[in-house]
Structure 1
């Protein structure tokens, strides 16, 4: 009998699994070739320059693979991370000490999140929120490239300046850049799959677009790109910029963690493995922190490059490290060639990245699902594009949580409002009938949350008429209870005492009983009014009402 892989080495196994060495080397080589144009494009879009994108892919790609918890994952600059970093770079005026100080801090935050075992909480972010901010990021990536497709640069950072720059760029185009952009878009969107197995579409577009630009000069080029190893950046934070740096670092850390762990889930599905989420966060944090010291833009688990790595045979951490080493060889030796790459080529490649980032699969099916989920997705998308990512995600998570609590509370109140307790046996029904309406049972039907607490006492009060002498509160389906619900139970007991009614409780588990004992006052404390089953409580109530017939 075999056991499934875990995504990381089982206890006692070697740290580097050499059983799939050929597949890992080929997967890493392929992923490195695919990552080259993307790293250059992301670096250019970030404001830090193409070389910063390459070093981001090298540092994060190598150390996240070395120390991470997802064997087949390939990491590097991604669209969401670049969008945030570009805003930070513009806000801090490109000051390396401040900008990369935020990157280092983000990496340290990710390491802390890993040690605090926060990886498991990423799955609690609702899908409409994830879909909304990912789609919003796709829109931002596209918006930032529109002017570059026409041979111009957007006026400042941000989505709105990018959109406002488009009319001027359209009215005054660089026709050679436009032609190269159209050629690039045609290649990346229609590159045959049979060729993609040997030469990825983005790489083909990069080479062909650059050769056309050399043959027909006139389009804006990247220009000189430094080669060799990067310079050390000493981080610094001053009082005026501390808030911006800390906020940006937090966004980068949270976004990079979500992006990486979602990619880990994709890798798990493809390889039938199970990643270690907290270890993955630590690996990503180490990569980003070390990269920040050398002027590398931050990165995360990259879905497309991970998928390509897996399809090319990559399975272990060796593949992600190989991908980084391939890029290292390129950046050391091919800088002069990269200087001839036109901006329009990288813009076309990034437009394809943006389109792929938009969650069209959900949008096509959204009309079939709850309107609230669609509205939440659109709201998060709009906030992502026109406000900022942290606001979008925070608002989305809070609204989703409130909606869930509202639905849960409605269901709890509905259970209380039912004329007959659910799942009643025939004997219980007969006893209730014999009581002649003098016994009223309330089956809470599930967890008692603060969402239902405000109305709970009112509904019990409204149903317990003057004829009722004994109220039975059934906790048998209440696995836990919060302080707000304890207060609601207290209200029920106090109202019953004021009107001369007895209260019996039944079915409480140890946890619920402990909370009620610690926080509730006036709850029936005698064993004569606490019962393990509702049938026992009903029999006791009938005995009290009809002692001669019981």
Structure 2
């Protein structure tokens, strides 16, 4: 019998059968999450147990308070470079403070409903920094894979690469064998037994081989970081002062932005796999709560994990209960098996992270964008290179700025302000730009096709193009604006200047004005300045009105014949009223 859970609609109609599904999927994901949690923590420059604490606390809270039905939260590879940088620059205690600050930012983003804004970050930027992070993670594991000793971890990529070459003489053949055993086991398990967690099998087999065949020959979690406690630590508040907050506001913003992007991307992937729909603002709220609470237990920043979320769904998850179970499973395993985890070789964790890095790089999408050889390719490469060789903060800032600049340029290139006249040889007398040439250009009525957004990037060119026509002083200026989707305040200001200048000696008409431009002109008063009678829905009506505003005496003998009425006007002093001609757009 269905029962309605108390928290929200994600738990509605919960039953014993759905609990069984959640138990299976939650247990499997929990087992997978343990080696990843430790590996991500070590790569971030902190003790492995902090990754496990994050998996437990954040995993449960994100499932409880988030906006996705199937989201699995915890530490992820995307955070590694930024967290490592914070630990190197400010220390572990301040990493906890930055995590709490990021949580507060995420909560505010959720409260003020900013979840939808994340989707406006261009894909080349996200692919670029994700691929850059992947390269950083992969190279960061080479030392453990090869068993190098004396390697000092640096913040900059180039310095770390130099350090690797300097210590290459310390290669440990036993570490390489251990790493290869783990890697091969992972790959074969994933291919032959998809339901079995490959990383766990790889760690188990390589650890057993190392412990029995060549004990003491490779560095382990225990020798590097000490014994892993078999319980959660007590809650403690990190020391915070105003100066620390000032120092960490930048890193906290990056953590919040990165966490928001990855969690919502993961939620979108889950929606696609299950034909459901997540609540983006509630998801940010849940992520924020998790990141505020987790550091109190010594955990590092967390977000939605795409791979673990997909695994959760593939194993039959039915509700957020599976995510809660995943956290409980990790806690139980911590309490029972923590002492044994200390025997895991660091060389075994290296291939786990290398595979994660390869999967998150999305190399096929990266190469696809590169092959387009467009401005998006440039944004991708710049973001990627800055992520690798400078830092993630700079990469995101420059990537977004470059994307905006190039998008603006594309909008500028797409904008058209060109003279037009009816094509009398086509049905409907379509008004086209290519019709104007010497000997075929009405001296009294000037028509302009205006296409594309009229915004700050094109407003000045638009005005100058029109003003050059005003110098010829036609009687009527008709602006066809049916293909102008929007006008910003700069475009409105330049249009106002045209109206004021032209209105001194002629009549300005506008046809086909769309809703947003019309609202803008009404708000600024320009609509009333032009006059409601000078706005027309159709170009044909505007042309008929324009013909009543001209000096017909100047039409006598005119050989331009720009309009179908011109034959009659050029031979008669009085305007003969004929049935209206229909003029249509291009």
1:214 equivalent in structure 2: 211
The answer to whether the Cα contact below 8 Å between 2:270 and 2:309 also exists between their aligned partners in 1 is yes
Summarize the Cα distance change of 1:549–1:467 in structure 2 as closer, same or farther, 3 Å threshold. Answer: farther
Quick one: distance in 2 between partners of 1:340 and 1:153?
Answer: 21
The answer to whether the Cα contact below 8 Å between 2:423 and 2:431 also exists between their aligned partners in 1 is no
1:549 equivalent in structure 2: 576
Worse-superposed segment, 383-392 or 29-38 = 383-392
Quick one: distance in 2 between partners of 1:548 and 1:202?
Answer: 87
Quick one: distance in 2 between partners of 1:444 and 1:372?
Answer: 25
Structure 1 residue 417: Cα displacement: 2.3
Structure 1 residue 120: Cα displacement: 0.8
Secondary structure, aligned partner of 2:458: helix
The reply on whether 1:179 has 2:181 as its aligned counterpart is no
Q: Give the 5 Å matches for 1:112-511.
A: 112-151=108-147, 152=149, 154-158=151-155, 159-197=157-195, 199-215=196-212, 216-217=214-215, 218-223=217-222, 224-412=227-415, 414=416, 416-417=417-418, 419-420=420-421, 426=428, 436-463=442-469, 466=472, 468-497=474-503, 500-509=505-514, 511=516
Quick one: distance in 1 between partners of 2:450 and 2:218?
Answer: 70
Spell out, residue by residue over 1:498-546, the C-alpha distance to the aligned partner (whole angstroms, 9 max, x if none): 6x33312233356533432443669744344333433222111101113
The answer to whether the Cα contact below 8 Å between 1:260 and 1:301 also exists between their aligned partners in 2 is yes
Structure 1 residue 441: Cα displacement: 1.7
2:571 equivalent in structure 1: none
Structure 1 residue 19: Cα displacement: 4.9
**Alignment TM-score, normalising by the size of structure 1:** 0.90
Worse-superposed segment, 172-181 or 37-46 = 172-181
Quick one: distance in 1 between partners of 2:418 and 2:458?
Answer: 12
The answer to whether the Cα contact below 8 Å between 2:125 and 2:396 also exists between their aligned partners in 1 is yes
Secondary structure, aligned partner of 1:228: coil
The answer to whether the Cα contact below 8 Å between 2:418 and 2:449 also exists between their aligned partners in 1 is no
The answer to whether the Cα contact below 8 Å between 1:78 and 1:299 also exists between their aligned partners in 2 is yes
Structure 1 residue 435: Cα displacement: 8.3
Q: Give the 5 Å matches for 1:16-95.
A: 19-94=17-92
Summarize the Cα distance change of 1:153–1:281 in structure 2 as closer, same or farther, 3 Å threshold. Answer: farther
Summarize the Cα distance change of 1:57–1:421 in structure 2 as closer, same or farther, 3 Å threshold. Answer: farther
Structure with more contact order per residue of length (Cα contacts < 8 Å, sep ≥ 6)? 1
Summarize the Cα distance change of 1:93–1:52 in structure 2 as closer, same or farther, 3 Å threshold. Answer: same
Quick one: distance in 1 between partners of 2:264 and 2:422?
Answer: 43
Summarize the Cα distance change of 1:293–1:418 in structure 2 as closer, same or farther, 3 Å threshold. Answer: farther
Quick one: distance in 1 between partners of 2:142 and 2:329?
Answer: 31
Summarize the Cα distance change of 1:344–1:169 in structure 2 as closer, same or farther, 3 Å threshold. Answer: farther
Secondary structure, aligned partner of 1:444: strand
Worse-superposed segment, 238-247 or 212-221 = 238-247
Structure 1 residue 353: Cα displacement: 0.9
Spell out, residue by residue over 1:134-187, the C-alpha distance to the aligned partner (whole angstroms, 9 max, x if none): 101101111211112222364234223321221133221122212212222333
Structure 1 residue 17: Cα displacement: 6.0
The answer to whether the Cα contact below 8 Å between 1:69 and 1:278 also exists between their aligned partners in 2 is yes
Quick one: distance in 2 between partners of 1:283 and 1:38?
Answer: 22
Summarize the Cα distance change of 1:64–1:16 in structure 2 as closer, same or farther, 3 Å threshold. Answer: farther
Structure 1 residue 190: Cα displacement: 4.0
Secondary structure, aligned partner of 2:167: helix
The answer to whether the Cα contact below 8 Å between 2:422 and 2:430 also exists between their aligned partners in 1 is no
Quick one: distance in 2 between partners of 1:482 and 1:422?
Answer: 32
Worse-superposed segment, 432-441 or 285-294 = 432-441
1:5 equivalent in structure 2: none
Quick one: distance in 2 between partners of 1:176 and 1:41?
Answer: 20
Q: Structure 2 stretches of 5 or more lacking a match?
A: 1-6, 553-573, 578-586
The answer to whether the Cα contact below 8 Å between 1:100 and 1:233 also exists between their aligned partners in 2 is no
Summarize the Cα distance change of 1:77–1:32 in structure 2 as closer, same or farther, 3 Å threshold. Answer: same
Quick one: distance in 1 between partners of 2:532 and 2:29?
Answer: 69
1:100 equivalent in structure 2: 96
The answer to whether the Cα contact below 8 Å between 1:72 and 1:320 also exists between their aligned partners in 2 is yes
The reply on whether 1:526 has 2:531 as its aligned counterpart is yes
1:3 equivalent in structure 2: none
The answer to whether the Cα contact below 8 Å between 2:499 and 2:530 also exists between their aligned partners in 1 is no
The answer to whether the Cα contact below 8 Å between 1:268 and 1:275 also exists between their aligned partners in 2 is yes
1:4 equivalent in structure 2: none
The answer to whether the Cα contact below 8 Å between 1:440 and 1:468 also exists between their aligned partners in 2 is yes
Spell out, residue by residue over 1:106-144, the C-alpha distance to the aligned partner (whole angstroms, 9 max, x if none): 111111111111111111111111100110110111121
Spell out, residue by residue over 1:351-400, the C-alpha distance to the aligned partner (whole angstroms, 9 max, x if none): 11111111211133234424321221111011111222122112112211
RMSD of equivalent CA atoms: 2.7
Quick one: distance in 2 between partners of 1:113 and 1:502?
Answer: 49
Secondary structure, aligned partner of 2:575: coil
Summarize the Cα distance change of 1:452–1:168 in structure 2 as closer, same or farther, 3 Å threshold. Answer: same
Secondary structure, aligned partner of 1:544: coil
Quick one: distance in 2 between partners of 1:153 and 1:371?
Answer: 44
Structure 1 residue 307: Cα displacement: 1.1
The answer to whether the Cα contact below 8 Å between 1:180 and 1:213 also exists between their aligned partners in 2 is yes
2:581 equivalent in structure 1: none
The answer to whether the Cα contact below 8 Å between 1:74 and 1:309 also exists between their aligned partners in 2 is yes
Spell out, residue by residue over 1:33-74, the C-alpha distance to the aligned partner (whole angstroms, 9 max, x if none): 111110111111122211000011111111101111111111
Spell out, residue by residue over 1:272-324, the C-alpha distance to the aligned partner (whole angstroms, 9 max, x if none): 11111111111111111110111001111111111111111113101111111
